[in-house]
C-alpha cells in the first residue's frame, strides 16, 4: 500500500491549562512547575519537528488536534499520532482496518529525571508502549514506511454488543464494566460461549467491583496492574478478570482467564446501574438491570506500526 495522504493527529499543546489562571500559577512547588513546563515545551518541539520532517517528504498531510476529532477518519492512508499511548488510543476509535497508524511518543520518560526527582514527586513522562517512534528516529521510521520496508502489525480490538446491538467504538486496550460509583457492588453473571457450538456453557455468578476484559495490547496496562498476565502482542485471545470478587468460593478459579477468537464472553447485568468504559473513561455506555453484553474479538484489527517491526529491519543490515 502506497502512503501518500497523511493525517497528523496532535495531543493538545496546552497540556496543563491549570499552570496559570489570570497570569498566576496554581502550582507553588517550583520543581513541579519546571517539570510541567518542560513537558509542554518538549511536546511542542516534537510537533514542530515532525511537521518539518513531513514537509520534506513526497506526501500530502494536514494536522488536527485530538480534541477536534469527532468523525471517522476517511480518505487518508495513514494517521500519525504525536503524543503518547492515549493519543493513539483516541485515534483508534475513529479508524477502521483500512488506515495505518504510527505513534510518535512526543515526551518519553527520562530515566535520569525520574531518579533525580523521585524523592520529590513522580517524574514519569509518557510510556509510549504502542508508539514506534520518537523525535530521535521519526524520519528513519517514516522513510521505512514510505519506502515499503515495513508493514503494520494487525493488533486485535474488542467488539461489544449491548442487547445484541453492536457498539460503535472498539477497544484497543480494554473494557471495564462496573457501577458508575467505584465503591458500589455490581451483580452480574457471565459465561464463555463457543460461537459455532450448541453446548450449554457454565454460568458464573458474581458480586464484585466489576469485570475487565483486555486485548493482548491492553495486557500491559490496567490488567497487568491488577495481577493479570502478559500476552503476545499479536494474540487474538482476550483476557478477562472479575475485579475484587466477594466470597467467590469454588468459582474463584473461573474469575480470571482468557478466551479464544471463536468464543465470546456473554454477560448478564443484574444491577440497577452500570457503565461500559472503553479504553479508559472518555468513551462509555450506560447499562441497566437486565441488559446483556456480548464481548468478542470480532472487531476490525488496527493496523499499527510497532517498534518490533523496525527492529527486525535494522537486524538485516
pLDDT tens figures, 104-128: 999 998 888 888 888 888 889 888 9
pLDDT single digits (tens) 36-65: 888 889 999 999 999 999 999 999 999 999
The set of cell numbers assigned to 179 is 457501577
pLDDT single digits (tens) 182-213: 899 999 999 999 987 766 789 999 999 999 99
**pLDDT for position 38:** 85
Q: What is the dihedral of CA 8, 11, 14, 16, to 10 degrees?
A: -170
Residue predicted with more confidence, 17 or 178: 178
CB atoms inside a 10 Å sphere around CB 137? 14
Task: Determine the average pLDDT of the residues in 233-243.
Answer: 97
Rg of the Cα trace of the chain? Answer: 21
From the list 62, 65, 44, 64, the residue with the least C-alpha distance to 54 is: 62
- Cβ atoms of residues 286 and 275 within 8 Å: yes
pLDDT single digits (tens) 290-316: 999 999 999 999 999 999 866 665 555
Task: Determine the average pLDDT of the residues in 64-80.
Answer: 95
27 band by pLDDT with thresholds 50, 70 and 90 = low
Instruction: Enumerate the H helices of 1-60 as residue ranges.
Output: 30-55
33 band by pLDDT with thresholds 50, 70 and 90 = confident
Residue 272 pLDDT > 80? yes
Looking at residue 184, the DSSP 8-state letter turns out to be S
**pLDDT for position 275:** 98
Domains of the chain with CATH codes: 5-151 (3.40.50.10330), 157-299 (2.60.200.30)
**pLDDT for position 24:** 52
Quick one: CA dihedral 213, 228, 173, 121, positive or negative?
A: positive
**pLDDT for position 200:** 75
- As a whole-number percent, the residues of the chain with pLDDT over 90 amount to 78
pLDDT, the chain, mean:
91
Looking at residue 216, the DSSP 8-state letter turns out to be T
Q: Please report how many Cα atoms fall inside a 13 Å half-sphere around the Cα of residue 128, on the Cβ side.
A: 24
- As a whole-number percent, the residues of the chain with pLDDT over 70 amount to 91
> How far is residue 299's CA from residue 51's CA, in Å, rounded to a whole number?
32
**pLDDT for position 14:** 74
- Cβ atoms of residues 116 and 44 within 8 Å: no
Residue 21 pLDDT > 70? no
Q: Please tell me whether residue 298 adopts helix, strand or coil conformation.
A: coil
Residue 22 pLDDT > 70? no
**pLDDT for position 101:** 98
Residue 100 pLDDT > 90? yes
If you count them, how many residues does the chain have? 317
Residue 25 pLDDT > 60? no
Amino acid at each position: 500500500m502506497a502512503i501518500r495522504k497523511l493525517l497528523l493527529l496532535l495531543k493538545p499543546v496546552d497540556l496543563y491549562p491549570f499552570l496559570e489562571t489570570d497570569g498566576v500559577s496554581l502550582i507553588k512547588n517550583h520543581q513541579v512547575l519546571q517539570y510541567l513546563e518542560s513537558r509542554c515545551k518538549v511536546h511542542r518541539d516534537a510537533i514542530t519537528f515532525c511537521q518539518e520532517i513531513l514537509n520534506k517528504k513526497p506526501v500530502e498531510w494536514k494536522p488536527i488536534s485530538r480534541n477536534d476529532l469527532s468523525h471517522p477518519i476517511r480518505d487518508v492512508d495513514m494517521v500519525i499520532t504525536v503524543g503518547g499511548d492515549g493519543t493513539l488510543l483516541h485515534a483508534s476509535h475513529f479508524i477502521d482496518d483500512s488506515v495505518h497508524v504510527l505513534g510518535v511518543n512526543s515526551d518519553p520518560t527520562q530515566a535520569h529525571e525520574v531518579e533525580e526527582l523521585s524523592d520529590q514527586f513522580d517524574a514519569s513522562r509518557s510510556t509510549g508502549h504502542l508508539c514506534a517512534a520518537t523525535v530521535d528516529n521519526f524520519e528513519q521510521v517514516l522513510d521505512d514506511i514510505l519506502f515499503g520496508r515495513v508493514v503494520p502489525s494487525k493488533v486485535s480490538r474488542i467488539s461489544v454488543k449491548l442487547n445484541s446491538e453492536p457498539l460503535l467504538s472498539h477497544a484497543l486496550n480494554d473494557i471495564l464494566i462496573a457501577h458508575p460509583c467505584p465503591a458500589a457492588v455490581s451483580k452480574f453473571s457471565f459465561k464463555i460461549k463457543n460461537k459455532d457450538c450448541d453446548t450449554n456453557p457454565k454460568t458464573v455468578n458474581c458480586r464484585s467491583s466489576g469485570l475487565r476484559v483486555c486485548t493482548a495490547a491492553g495486557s500491559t496496562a490496567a490488567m497487568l496492574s491488577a495481577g493479570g498476565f502478559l500476552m503476545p502482542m499479536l494474540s487474538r485471545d482476550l483476557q478477562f478478570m472479575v475485579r475484587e470478587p466477594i466470597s467467590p468460593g469454588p468459582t474463584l478459579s473461573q474469575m480470571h482467564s482468557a478466551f479464544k477468537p471463536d468464543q465470546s464472553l456473554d454477560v448478564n447485568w443484574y444491577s440497577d446501574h452500570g457503565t461500559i468504559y472503553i479504553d479508559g473513561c472518555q468513551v462509555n455506555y450506560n447499562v441497566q438491570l437486565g441488559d446483556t453484553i456480548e464481548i468478542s474479538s470480532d472487531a476490525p484489527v488496527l493496523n499499527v506500526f510497532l517498534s518490533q517491526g523496525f527492529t527486525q529491519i535494522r537486524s538485516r543490515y
